[in-house]
Structure 1
Amino acid sequence: MLQKRAGVRAGDCVVFDLDGTLADTSADLLAAANACFTAMGAACPLGAGDSLTAFHGGRAMLRLGLSRLRGGAPDEAEVDRWYPELLEHYRGAIAVHSRMYPGATDAVVALRDAGYAVSVCTNKPEALAEQLLRALGVRDLFAALVGADTLPTRKPDPAPYHLAVERAGGRVARSVLIGDTETDLLTARAVGSPVALVTFGPEGEAIARLKPDALLHRYEDLPALVGGLLA
């Protein structure tokens, strides 16, 4: 049996966001949105420079693309109409280009081996998050997964985070959130847990403007960073 690393207490838990934190999924998300625009008979208006919008979800991508095509604010009814089709396109090609960020898998394994509970709390629909993590070969590394539709509310509401910690066997009072957006920061503030934001996500180093408790520049530093935040 593995021994807990010195300083790791029972209930210590690390909660990860998924898109933009554990994995770069932007290319597949953008491709799903552009498939909708192709079905509309339009050119594909979204490109690699729109990765930040991709990490804000399908509706955000549809709004951006439609605003470019229509030359103004999109009709929300049109966004709602195309959203299910976007999900279908994404479900059918969820991990063509998506990859775990360098060192992420090894860092999660290191945390588990040290005695931390690890889980995922994402605003991606739960079934899609399950599918993606399995396609990437890492689902079994996480004791729990809570998605956008697991509960009636999503991040930054604290309830999904609480559930992600509890299902992993952790304690919220001894948990850390690893994320990449203001939504993750607000989630951590709502539950009173420290938060580290990655600088290799869609905002890059500019994420420092949010003044999180820590910045994660590379996954090799994660175990030491978590230990420091929970010390």
Structure 2
Amino acid sequence: MSDLNNMPRCVVFDLDGTLVDTGPDLTAATNHVLALAGRPSVTVAEVRDMVGLGARKLIERGLAHTGGGTPEQAESLLQPFLDYYAQNVCVASQPFPGVEQTLTRLQEAGVLIGICTNKPEGLSHALIETLGWQRFFPVNIGGDSLPFRKPDGRHILTVVERLGGNPHETVMVGDSAVDVGAARDAGLPVVAVSFGFSSVPADELGADALIDHYDQLMDALTAVQRERATA
């Protein structure tokens, strides 16, 4: 049982690969624009390794994986990607097991929770609304919301500020090197999930704690916050 007295007062989550397995829908959108470019399709497993730095980078990686491409070609495919994905943002995407129960427990414990994602803000909000999660996340800042984005730590710190939280009582939860890098840049501890979209093995990301299921998150957050308080 986690010690709620030692919980961080604020937790910032990444979205894709951390809260929700969006791999199938991102793959469908990627394959849509690859087909427009006359390229072969890619698999969900391949796309999971390409996610993390926003839609344009995903397209660039998809092109590179299927024969190469230029930044200009990726740019020309960006709007078709966004249009297709906006219409199919939550067709096959599913929350990871235990997520909603854990978000409810955090909320009931009075923890401030927000989202920091490199997904475009409109798509992030559309996904959260489709899942019915607006009640959990009063702050949801996307990759195009600010002049900077992860791995720039200011992206996370802006979420904390808008939540009314204190960075000294905040923990980041993510799935990739981008999330860990952003947390380090912000001076925050970070919990990594082992089931996300990282091309680097989760246990090599250098996170302060690693979980294999959301039923482990409360204890991990408590342990990380306690270690910070005694450091």
| TM-score greater than 0.5 by the shorter chain | yes
Out of 73, 83, 92, the residue aligned to residue 78 of structure 1 is: 73
Q: What CA distance in whole angstroms lies between the structure 2 residues aligned with 1:14 and 1:108?
A: 10
Q: Deviations over 1:183-219 (max 9, x none)?
A: 1111111111110110011248921112210001110
2:83 is aligned with what amino acid?
Answer: E
Find the counterpart in structure 2 of residue 6 from structure 1: 5
2:187 is aligned with what amino acid?
Answer: G
Q: Secondary structure at the match of 2:6?
A: coil
Out of 27, 44, 49, the residue aligned to residue 48 of structure 1 is: 44
Q: Deviations over 1:54-98 (max 9, x none)?
A: 4443223322333354x3x31111111111110111001000011
Provide the aligned C-alpha RMSD in A.
1.9
Find the counterpart in structure 2 of residue 220 from structure 1: 215
- Do 2:60 and 2:69's aligned partners in 1 also have CA atoms closer than 8 Å? yes
- Do 1:33 and 1:58's aligned partners in 2 also have CA atoms closer than 8 Å? no
Detail structure 1 runs of 4+ shifted over 4 Å in the superposition. none
2:43 is aligned with what amino acid?
Answer: G
Alignment of 1:38 onto 2:32: no
Out of 51, 54, 59, the residue aligned to residue 57 of structure 1 is: 54
Q: What CA distance in whole angstroms lies between the structure 2 residues aligned with 1:54 and 1:173?
A: 29
Q: What CA distance in whole angstroms lies between the structure 2 residues aligned with 1:32 and 1:137?
A: 22
Find the counterpart in structure 2 of residue 167 from structure 1: 162
Q: Secondary structure at the match of 2:221?
A: helix
Find the counterpart in structure 2 of residue 197 from structure 1: 192
Q: Deviations over 1:31-57 (max 9, x none)?
A: 1111112233x2542112212114443
- Do 2:4 and 2:222's aligned partners in 1 also have CA atoms closer than 8 Å? no
Q: Compared with structure 1, are the counterparts of its residues 149 and 205 closer, same or farther at alpha carbon in structure 2 (3 Å cutoff)?
A: closer
Q: What CA distance in whole angstroms lies between the structure 1 residues aligned with 2:173 and 2:27?
A: 24
- Equivalenced residue count is 223
Unpaired segments ≥5 residues, structure 2: 227-231
- Do 2:192 and 2:202's aligned partners in 1 also have CA atoms closer than 8 Å? yes
1:36 is aligned with what amino acid?
Answer: V
Find the counterpart in structure 2 of residue 108 from structure 1: 103
Q: Compared with structure 1, are the counterparts of its residues 204 and 16 closer, same or farther at alpha carbon in structure 2 (3 Å cutoff)?
A: same
Find the counterpart in structure 1 of residue 94 from structure 2: 99
Alignment of 1:16 onto 2:51: no
Unpaired segments ≥5 residues, structure 1: none
1:120 is aligned with what amino acid?
Answer: I
Q: Secondary structure at the match of 2:92?
A: coil
Q: What CA distance in whole angstroms lies between the structure 2 residues aligned with 1:138 and 1:44?
A: 35
- Measure how far apart 1:109 and its partner are: 0.9
Find the counterpart in structure 1 of residue 206 from structure 2: 211
Out of 179, 193, 202, the residue aligned to residue 184 of structure 1 is: 179
Q: Secondary structure at the match of 1:118?
A: strand
Alignment of 1:155 onto 2:154: no
1:157 is aligned with what amino acid?
Answer: D
Alignment of 1:28 onto 2:25: yes
